[in-house]
């Protein structure tokens, strides 16, 4: 399904947050006069991100809004790059990260779902849309996941990338704490 040469080139997996790592729902309330925001994250997506930790692919969360819930989940998953910008200004934030890491857009996969992701998807070597993405986003992506955002789409991307790179068995063995995986 995914070209092996392209998969092997990927060094950064950028993930939009709301609508990709979450199902787009945000629960907002107040407790003791303090604003509280909750988001629903898929546990299997988190496990996939954990499996990438020892691979050559770095993960970056790239959100168009500031959120303590995003920071908390990214920190919990030990994601090294948590970029939260205001509005559709994701490209400059990613370009700064790429410059710091010495990586070009030709080594970037990005998963998005909505209009603010379009400028990034237009530059990424591997633009990916989740199943429930806006039609405008799907139209410019090389791949549309079977799973919806917040319901395993990120895990689908990670599993597919690792398998296309020939790294799935090693990643699984590391995750399970084994030298090899029985096949």
Structure confidence by residue, pLDDT tens digits, 38-86: 999 999 999 999 999 889 999 999 999 999 999 999 999 999 999 999 8
| 27 pLDDT more than 80 | yes
**Tally of domains within the chain:** 1
Residue 100 covered by a domain: yes
Asked whether residue 23 is assigned to any structural domain, the reply reads yes
At 29, give phi and psi (nearest 5°): -155, -165
Across the chain, what does the average pLDDT equal? 94
In a domain, 9, yes or no: yes
- Confidence band for 139, pLDDT divided at 50, 70 and 90: very high
Please report whether residue 86 resides in a domain.
Answer: yes
CA distances from 106 to 16, 30, 79, 96 (A): 18, 43, 21, 15
With a cut of 70, say whether residue 181 has pLDDT above it.
Answer: no
User: What is the torsion angle, in degrees rounded to the nearest 10, for the CA atoms of residue 166, residue 169, residue 175 and residue 177?
Assistant: -140
Tokens coding 72: 């908390």
Q: For residues 155-171, give the mean pLDDT.
A: 96
pLDDT-based confidence at 178, cuts 50/70/90?
confident
Cβ–Cβ under 8 Å, residues 158 and 15:
no
β-strands 81-84, 58-63 pairing:
parallel
% of the chain at pLDDT higher than 90: 81
Residue 148: pLDDT over 70: yes
183 domain-assigned: no
Segment 16-29 mean pLDDT: 93
In a domain, 182, yes or no: no
pTM of the model: 0.93
- The DSSP secondary-structure symbol of 148 reads P
Average pLDDT over residues 5-33: 94
Enclosing domain of residue 121: 4-176
59 within domain boundaries: yes
pLDDT at residue 96 tops 90: yes
Structure tokens at 52: 């990438």
18: closest CA among 162, 155, 117?
117
Average pLDDT over residues 157-175: 95
For range 156-170, the mean pLDDT: 96
Phi-psi map region of 9: left, alpha, beta (phi>0 left; psi -120 to 50 alpha) = alpha
CA distance 128 to 110: 6
Query: Mean pLDDT, to the nearest integer, of 148-177?
Result: 95
* Count of beta carbons in the 10 Å neighbourhood of residue 125: 17
pLDDT at 41: 96
The torsion defined by the Cα of 113, 87, 16 and 31, in degrees rounded to 10, comes to: -110
Whichever domain contains 118, its CATH number is 3.40.50.1000
What is the DSSP annotation of 114-158?
A: SGGGHHHHHH-SEEEE-TT--HHHHHH-SEE-SSPTTTTHHHHHH
Burial zone of 5 (CB within 10 Å; 0-12 exposed, 13-18 middle, 19+ buried) = exposed
């Amino acid at each position: 399904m995914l070209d092996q040469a392209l998969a092997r080139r990927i060094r950064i997996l950028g993930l939009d947050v709301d609508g990709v790592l979450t199902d787009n729902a945000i629960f907002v309330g107040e407790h003791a006069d303090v604003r509280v925001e909750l988001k629903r994250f898929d546990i299997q997506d988190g496990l996939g991100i954990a499996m990438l930790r020892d691979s050559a692919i770095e993960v970056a969360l790239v959100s168009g809004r500031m959120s303590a819930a995003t920071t908390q989940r990214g920190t919990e998953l030990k994601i090294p790059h948590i970029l939260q910008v205001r509005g559709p200004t994701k490209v400059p934030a990613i370009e700064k990260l790429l410059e710091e890491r010495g990586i070009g857009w030709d080594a970037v996969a990005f998963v998005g779902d909505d209009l603010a992701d379009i400028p990034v998807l237009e530059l990424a070597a591997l633009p990916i849309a989740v199943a429930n993405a806006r039609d405008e986003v799907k139209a410019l992506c090389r791949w549309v996941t079977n799973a919806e955002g917040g319901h395993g789409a990120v895990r689908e991307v990670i599993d597919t990338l690792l398998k296309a790179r020939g790294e799935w068995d090693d990643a699984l063995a590391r995750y399970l704490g084994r030298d090899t995986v029985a096949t």
